[in-house]
Amino acid sequence: MNNYDLAILGGGPGGYSAAFRAAELGKKVAIIDDNNLGGVCLNWGCIPTKSLLKNAEVMDLINSSSDYGISVKDIQVNFDFIVQRSIKARERLSKGIHYLAKKNQVDFYSGFGKFVDNKTVDINGAQISAQNFIIATGSKPKSLSNINSNSDKIVYSKDIFSMDTLPASLTIIGAGAIGAEFAYFFSSFGTEVTLIEAEDRILPNEDKEISRWLEKAFKKRKINILTSTIAENIDDEKILISVGVEGNSSGFGLKNLGVEVTDNSHIKVDQHGKTNVDNIYAVGDVIGPPWLAHVATAEGLYVAELLCDLTPTKIDYNSIPNCTYCKPEVASIGSTEESLLEQSVNFKKAHSFFNANGKAVAVGSTDGFIKILVDDSNHILGAHIVGSNATEMISEISVIKSNNLTIDNVLSSIHPHPTFSEAIFETLLQLK
């Protein structure tokens, strides 16, 4: 039986980040996964969907080419090629993760890992032991039982990559990030899209101004939006379920170990990612929200350094960027205006609209704005962006907020002109 310092169940962002960091710090490490390394994010989520969305972006550009004095005729869409392109992107990156595992001398076991005891895992009949374990098994989509439709019509995001033709009509149930992204993607190629959300607005976790702005943009794209609605009888060609996720914690033998799991299948951990079993930790989606790849990575790195006797910086969960890659893009960090009002927190706010931004006007991407909220000491409480390059610009805000910088700290730096990021500078200047 092979023995390790650290063994990790799950090869997604949380798992492989922890593995590589621990290996760099001298530990003997193994990863166990019954799929390719990279997890849902690389294989079915973040990466391949962004590849799909690039195709939608190209289609949008072609359709608006006359705005740039260019005429494009006889547009043909090869949907199978589009899907295969996204698959090639994930395969390329998956090979990169496997290469890094080999480079860092991390052993990879392909198979389903199940705990025998708190020191041993069985992998399809073979066993390995470890001093410590990290559970990074991710999440799986929630299902719905109230949909009255043929089961062959119902798909989840993973199923998109097995489609070979575009559906003529599509209902998407759930208007969070995944629902919004696929609504944008399919509508770009002419699918009649209906987006249904039980809450009173799409992207219900975002600042209300941002949600309303995106809703107007989607309606211009002729996406049918039904909010405050429970879906039941649906006649569209396909029905995409995107109502959230639950922890992927069943089948791993956790019950026999006494590892505490919530009713919604998330593993309970303390502030250090430790379960109630001394040598077993958990990171990523399996421990609950926020269900984001970059959070899983941060948690994986934190636990790895902790197990290597370092003192890692605690994760600031109030400074985590959220990104939605539709058009216009949406990105946010920190508190919404609504939450601050509910808490009776004093704040100032300012907006900068991209229709006044030089770069946005020059390239023809003026839809959207930046909204920043600051406290009485001029520290950022929250920032919200809807528009082109929002998911890139939010990183600057993340650095500002996580380092507790003030408006003056930022305004002392010079932003290049013309850029979209100038809007951050201009928004903060209003708040000085």
- Positions annotated as catalytic residues are 417
Torsions phi, psi of 77, nearest 5? -115, 125
User: 138, 12 in Cβ contact below 8 A?
Assistant: yes
User: 101, 20 in Cβ contact below 8 A?
Assistant: yes
- Rounded-to-integer distance, Cα 117 and Cα 111, Å: 18
Q: What one-character DSSP code corresponds to residue 312?
A: P
Q: Please, which residues have CB within 8 angstroms of residue 72's CB and are 6 or more apart in sequence?
A: 62, 65
Closest CA to 423 of 374, 387, 398: 387
User: 397, 389 in Cβ contact below 8 A?
Assistant: no
Closest CA to 328 of 216, 409, 196: 216
Closest CA to 55 of 181, 224, 215: 181
Q: Is 35 helix (H, G, I), strand (E, B) or coil?
A: coil
- Rounded-to-integer distance, Cα 287 and Cα 296, Å: 10
User: 48, 124 in Cβ contact below 8 A?
Assistant: no
Strand-pair category, 280-282 with 126-135 = parallel
Amino acid identity, residue 245?
Answer: V
For 158, counting Cβ atoms within 10 Å of its Cβ (0-12 exposed, 13-18 middle, 19+ buried), the class is: middle
- Rounded-to-integer distance, Cα 48 and Cα 40, Å: 10
Q: Is 244 helix (H, G, I), strand (E, B) or coil?
A: coil
- Rounded-to-integer distance, Cα 294 and Cα 321, Å: 9
Q: What one-character DSSP code corresponds to residue 101?
A: H
CA 324 to chain centre: 8
User: 182, 160 in Cβ contact below 8 A?
Assistant: yes
